[in-house]
Structure 1
Amino acid sequence: MIPPGPVKAFTVLLLEDEGRPGYADGDLMRGQVMLELNSELSFLALRLQARGGVQLSWPESGHGAPAEEEAEYLNLTHTLKGEDAEEGLVTLLAGKHEFPFSFQLPHASLVTSYTGRYGSIQYYLRAALEQPSAPVQSVLREFQVLSHIDVNSPPLLTPVSRCKEKTVGCSFFASGPVSLSAKIERKGYCNGEAIPIYAEIENCSSRLIVPKAAIFQTQTYRSNGKSKTIRQMLSNVRGNHIASGSTDSWNGKTLKIPPVTPSILDCGLIRVEYCLAVYIHIPGSKKLMVELPLVIGTIPFNGITSRNASVASHFSMDMSWLALTLPDVPEAPPNYADVVSEEEFSRHTSPYPQPSDGTPDGEFHCPMFALMQEFRFQPPPLYFEIDPHPCGINEQQQTASFI
């Protein structure tokens, strides 16, 4: 509340704040301090301070002192107008005045904004008007911080599975075991995603059982060696009844994540954790439950699992040698002269004597045998990438097609 006097309105406006989920480490904050005056005003300085941290508080039972603790994560100060008292006063006339500001949040880890039953993590901008003969006038503007969690990181892409078995009844009148095995494809999800659940349930007891699943949020507050824990159900789904001696399977039964605060795992005083509990309601007995840890992130899943990424990278690595070993253009076969020496060539290609008249040896030097010997060591035909007689082949193919 601005007291009566020269100051009519005093506000802090953040630009590009509409629809923004929150500021992250290293983000640029831009805005304006708006000052509207009824009359002329002289002041020492107009400063803007960005602060934030965690605060815990809960009453102790009996007459003990309440548990209180705090930690600071952000403390930045910027002077928008004026300096120290030695520099003199700044005088503004009546009317509206705007003082733009721009500064970058530190790259150090800022914890996500959160408000719970026993503590909160809050950030705010405080504009302070320092006057020489009046109390400091200030105005606060809260802003949200979002510490990003990428669900595509390898630890959050690994599947999670649990299994458990329970014997229904006491040791003397046991009716049989009930077994449960549950699995989810990855550990990290974002708000609005539907989690496919895979489960196998076997009912060997004599009772009618009902499988269910739920998302739980656990808030943990720690202060001076003491702690408070709150656990609440956020959403749930149920399956069909399973009769005695029967089994059932969930092949991707979905449970949607409601809008919740992302997981807070980097604060020593407040932790916000999630899990998917798959459990079986057994009449007259305690639930059979398995809990699969969840991390609610801010950067959505891109559709590439760690297994697919590793297989793709392994394939590209194994096939990389192929591009290095294959020639760009096929090479022609070696020349015949490079393979057979001239001496061997001349020895095997010498002219054959003419057959003598009336001798039986002449039968072995007939023209056909001489032709075979002549081509025995002849070089192969020249290599051509382009068929030198394409027309002949086309004619043969056309002729063959009409046969």
Structure 2
Amino acid sequence: MPQPALNECLECGLLQRCPPLPRGGAARCVRCGSVLRRHRPDSLERTLALTLAGLVLFVIANAFPFLAFRMQGQVTETTLLTGVAELYRGGQWEIALVVLFTSVLAPGLQLLLLLAVLAPLRLARVPRWLPRLFRWMRTLAPWGMMDVFMLGILVAVVKLADMATIVPGTSLFAFAVLILVLAAAQASLDPDLVWSRVALAPAPAPRPGDAHRTCEVCALVTAPGGARDGRCPRCGAALHRRKPESLQRTWALVLAALICYVPANLLPIMTVTSLGRSQSDTIFSGVVFLFSHGMWPLGLVVFVASVFVPLLKLLILVGLLLSVHTRTRWRPRERTRLYRLTEAIGRWSMVDVYVVTILVALVRLGNLASVEAEAGAIFFCAVVVLTMIAAMSFDPRLIWDRLELQHVRDRRAP
């Protein structure tokens, strides 16, 4: 009977063995409760079919008009890339690059890489380049934000409802279906199944308590000397016992985000010109606009995503950093859950950046009606990106290291 697979929890660092899972089952860490493995039935076939459908929808979403803005007989049509181009022409190239990457490049590359990985596996082949491509796909996954972009579309349409008529285009419907298809593909994908197809040279597995290193990409646990040149023998990622300089990098990113958070909320993020009159809006005034027009649910969503979430994420990261520095043993399981929360919610703060992008693309009628991005949008975009990278730089296993050290001391004590 084969020995159960050895896994290290990447959130608390506990080394444990996971038995074979039943159909649709999941294995959770016995210490912190995070999911170690999950069995997804028919993963390869389902994910490949959804990926092919997603690529077709992706082409349609980028090839046809997205939205049309109709005001006093004049019509402006826009595609997904129109807002990026207008931001670049207006000198806001920083926002243009972020929007281009998160709404077009990252999802498109993710679909292409998935196809390049899954198609050979379906044909029972494992090319040498397959582990590297799958590693890149896993790295890109958190940066694809089409679902957040769709929320930005809803907010933009509400803002323009009193000014003009908004006509949905063909690609908008393809884009909406694409979001569902890509989400279904991610949910049906079983990374462990893909990694299990990669051949490995025989090597002794470390026992619980032995020194070891775990790949943060493919979760392979290796004993000392089992990795060549300090890289994972399966996917090629760099191996470290803990994320290198985790605390220093996270502190630097958090402090930079805190500095940007103040001008992001005080400075206007866009200026709207309508019939010769201009009005500058901050993030908070945009929330007030939605509330004053009776859009309470949407206004509440934007307030939470754009005002509350960035501040909450910064406070959580500061609290986690201080708890590691002070070596407190207070509620490590709850602190790990807080870290999990920061990773899940951070991306939704991009909604206001997408709103500005959509409005800049749609409203291009000169003095009759136009929208320009302002400095506040750059600072806010920086806050979102910096906090996301800060959460990725923080190693939650540091929360548990103090407890692990104390456990070892207690076990060695007479």
Give the TM-score, by structure 1 length: 0.24
- Select the structure with the greater relative contact order (CA < 8 A; seq sep ≥ 6): 2
* TM-score normalised according to structure 2 size: 0.23
Rg: which structure is higher?
A: 1
- Higher helix proportion: 2
